[in-house]
Amino acid sequence: MLFSRYFAILLSLPVMLAGSLSCSDKPDAMNKVSGSLLQQVEMRRQQVASPSEQRLKQMQDMGMDTSDVKVQRVFIYLKETLTSSQEKELATMGVRIHPDTWIPPVGNNPTGFLIAEIPVDKLETLARADFIVRLDTAEKRAYPNMCGQ
Tell me the per-residue pLDDT of 136-146, one tens digit each, with 9 for 90 and over.
999 987 777 77
- Each domain of the chain, given as residue ranges in start order, spans 2-137
Cβ-Cβ contacts under 8 Å for 54 (sequence gap 6 or more): none
Tell me the per-residue pLDDT of 25-68, one tens digit each, with 9 for 90 and over.
545 889 999 999 999 999 999 999 999 999 999 999 999 999 99
Tell me the per-residue pLDDT of 86-122, one tens digit each, with 9 for 90 and over.
999 999 999 999 999 999 999 998 999 999 999 999 9
